[in-house]
Structure formats: structure tokens, C-alpha cells
Amino acid sequence: MSVVRSIMMVAGDKPRHLEKIPQLVADWAMVNLEDGVGDKQAARQLVAETLGAMDPAVVAERVVIRINPMERGGMKDLRALSHLRPRAFRLPKVEDQETLHMALGMMDEAVELHFTVETRAAWNMLERFKIDNRVTTAYLGILDLMADLGIPQSLLKPDNPTIDYILAHFLIQCRSIDLLPVSFVYQDHRNLAELERWCEKVKAMGYTAKGCIAPAQAEVINRCFAPDPAALARAQAIISRFAAQREQGVTGFVDPDYGFIDEPIVRDAQRLLQMSPREPSHADD
């Protein structure tokens, strides 16, 4: 999976929004066919035409299509759009494995399947949703989840312990079954200072990606999740020094600059480098 930090919602019924996908600063474009889209059939046709005219490599690398619930338009979405071969389709309102199996059966084998955790049923079933290697990513729909759990949305603050638990549990559950956990969308797109506060919080918890609804938010997220150059240099040095020692049969040693180095330390350094995004060629083109 390529590195992703920001996933920006793009209205599936707005031609000008769709046409700007190749120039978006966000790493992925989340083309939305669900909430807020009135004429679903017209939106399907617009998405098919617009993405069909786009560079297939851009669609395959950067576009995720958020379809409707399977029994309420999702199957029509997949039948109409599967030929586009986007990076992924994202399923909302998933509450059982059967829904995931149904979607996978209608998709090209090269396309990923993502889903949203936004109900108590999905929360309780999350550990069972990794049914296939194509199921790669889970999004936390925290406002809908809180509503379904009867938790007041006024508690959604960076210093609330209940929110800490939700974020930590979702992260660990996803990581334990090899899913990428995507932190929730911060709705107040004008309050970039508060968004940055949330970004720093979830980054410190271990998140590497967050959803957004505006280009300015994507810029904040990209900047926040960008790795520290000093940390990258340290990781590269650790890997290099370990490789040199391993050639001599040593796989655990004390380095004068970086302390004790062994295989777990090296794996962490490799993970950091793998999670470091390359400079996006699409930005500011």
C-alpha cells in the first residue's frame, strides 16, 4: 500500500470538484456518492464519465469511491463504476461479513475494499472484517458511532477520556488485523488550529492518516503527518550500521550514536522509512 496521510472528500455530483482530482493536495480523493448526494443515478453517470476521461494511473493510485449501502444503491454503484478500477471502493454502514463478501464479488481483483465503522454493530464486529487481503482500510465515522452508542457529541474534544478510548481501541483493533486505521473527519473546516491539535493528538497515538473535507485541511494534515527529517536520517543510519554489523555475524550491539541496535530496532526504522511519503508529483501542477 502506498503512503497516505490525507483523504479528502470530493462531491460525486459536482463536475468542477471531480475535475480537480489530479491537482488535489490530498493524497487520496474520496469521491462521495452517499450522504448529501440527491440524484444518485446522475451522480453515477457523472463519476463514470469524469473518471473515465481521467488518466487511469491517477484513478488507480489516488481515487477511492464511497458508494451507498449495498442494498440501497451500492450494488448499482459497483455495477456502474467497477470498470474504472479506482484504488478502492469504500462501503458505509457495514455490519456483517456478508456485505463485504458481496462487494468483493462485484469488484475487480486489483481494487481494494475499504469500509466505515460508524455503528455499534460494526464496532463489535471490527475484528472479523479482515476477510480478504483486498480489505485494507477502515475509517472511523466517529459522529455517527457516538450517536448510535448514545454518547453526546459534545464530548468530542481532544482531552476527553472516552474519546481517547474510542481512538485507541479503533487503532489497535485495526492494526492487529492488518488494516490501515483512518482518523475521523474534523467538520469545522475553518478552524485549522483545532484541526492541527487533533492531528498532533492522533499522530502521537499512532495514527498516520486522517480524513478531511477541504484543501486547507489536507495541507495541515500532510504537514502534521510528515516525518521529522532528523528521525528519517536516524532510521537510515541505524539500518546501514546494522547491515554492516550483520555481515560480521553480529545482530545486537551498542552503537556510540544510537544506543543498542538489534532486529526489532531495525524493523521500526524500516517501518518509519516505508511510511514516509514521497514528494507528490501532482501537487501544485
The binding site consists of 66, 118, 144
pLDDT averaged over every residue in the chain: 92
Does residue 217 contact residue 186 with C-beta atoms inside 8 Å?
yes
pLDDT for the residue numbered 276: 63
* Chain segment 64-108, per-residue pLDDT in tens: 999 999 999 999 999 999 999 999 999 999 999 999 999 999 999
Does residue 188 contact residue 167 with C-beta atoms inside 8 Å?
no
Does residue 162 contact residue 209 with C-beta atoms inside 8 Å?
no
Confidence class for position 283, pLDDT limits 50, 70, 90: very low
- Tell me the pairing of strands 135-140 and 112-117: parallel
The better pLDDT of the pair 228, 145 is held by 145
* Chain segment 176-225, per-residue pLDDT in tens: 999 999 999 999 999 999 999 999 999 999 999 999 999 999 999 999 99
Percent of the chain with pLDDT over 90: 81
* Chain segment 42-66, per-residue pLDDT in tens: 999 999 999 999 999 999 999 999 9
pTM of the predicted model over 0.95: no
282 pLDDT higher than 80: no
The binding site for Mg(2+) consists of 118, 144
281 pLDDT higher than 70: no
The binding site for substrate consists of 66, 118
CATH architecture of 6-225: Alpha-Beta Barrel (3.20)
Provide long-range contacts, Cβ within 8 A and 24+ apart, for 265-274: 265/238, 266/238, 266/239, 266/242, 268/235, 269/234, 269/235, 269/236, 269/238, 269/239, 270/235, 270/239, 272/227, 272/231, 272/232, 272/235, 273/232, 273/235, 273/236, 273/239, 274/3
Does residue 12 contact residue 32 with C-beta atoms inside 8 Å?
yes
How big is the chain, counted in residues? 285
pLDDT for the residue numbered 226: 85
pLDDT for the residue numbered 1: 45
Mean pLDDT of 162-177: 98
**In the chain, what are the domain boundaries?**
6-225, 229-274
